[in-house]
Structure 1
């Protein structure tokens, strides 16, 4: 075993490898953290691409008169003149109020 430590090249290589793996600015540990950050950013990028696709669909729907009218009627409960709207809510879709008895 002592014979291995007498080989100067092996000692230098071992020190260099330990330095590069753990202590250097470009160490293996830092690269692992950076790769995790890259994976997180790629997932975020995919999420925002999906959101852009959904927004483009919504814009396309709202670019027509029928789409605008549908949004106004469903979301904002708007109506035409001389028209009555009845909103029917089912029991399972209405939030129940808590009573303090």
Structure 2
């Protein structure tokens, strides 16, 4: 049976009980604790993703508010209905003119 050399220069710092306790504490906090570094890192990345999503929705809210203001008036609502749903008034004819480059084809979809 081989004896462990107690004079090894790498094992010397671990003979001190304070260093040994500190190493165990650090390993515990990084890997095993419920508030470990890995969990904090994951939660911080999730917070960053949610903040980016929040900014995205704030920017889109401004655009939606502008569109809502346009649709709030009678003229805006009528314009939207005519352009999007091709609605018309009584005794009125609508001609839809589409240019060749504005048509949807398989190439430009």
TM range (shorter): 0.7 to 0.9
The alignment covers a number of residue pairs equal to 97
Displacement of 1:87: 0.6
Larger Rg: 2
Q: Which has the higher helix share?
A: 1
Q: SS of 1:86's equivalent?
A: coil
TM-score norm. by structure 2 comes to 0.80
TM-score norm. by structure 1 comes to 0.86
Which ranges of structure 1 fall in alignment gaps of 5 or more residues?
none
Runs of 4+ in 1 over 3 A off after TM superposition: none
Mapping 1:84-95, distance limit 5 Å: 84-95=93-104
Displacement of 1:81: 2.3
Displacement of 1:29: 0.7
| Partner residue of 1:6 out of 11, 15, 28 | 15
| Partner residue of 1:75 out of 81, 84, 107 | 84
Displacement of 1:40: 1.1
Displacement of 1:50: 2.0
Which ranges of structure 2 fall in alignment gaps of 5 or more residues?
1-8
